[in-house]
Amino acid sequence: MKDSIKSKTDKVVGTIKENLGKTIESEQLELDGKLQKLAGEAREKAKETKEKAEQLGEDIKETIAEKANDLIDSVQKKKK
């Protein structure tokens, strides 16, 4: 949650700095704004990627457990 707020804050503040830099013709402020906005976007993408990887890991674990259970059940039926 903290990263999400930081990401959004960086994007908003970065946009403000960028636009203010353009308005007052400060290339440095405009650049700072662009970089801050990009940092927020990168943090957001990293969070999304992490969540997708965690979900994929859970899906893989579930599939392996299901296949292992099916195999055990199959072996046990053959013994009977």
pLDDT of residue 77: 85
CA distances from 27 to 10, 14, 24 (A): 18, 13, 9
* pLDDT given for residue 80 in this prediction: 66
Whether pTM exceeds 0.85: no
Q: What is the pLDDT along the chain (80 residues), one digit of tens a residue?
A: 687 899 999 999 999 999 999 999 999 999 999 999 999 999 999 999 999 999 999 999 999 999 999 999 998 888 76
Buried b (16+ CB within 10 A) or exposed e, 66-79: eeeeeeeeeeeeee
pLDDT of residue 46: 95
Q: What pLDDT was estimated at residue 78? A: 82
Provide the residue type at 27 as one letter.
E
Domain positions in the chain:
2-79
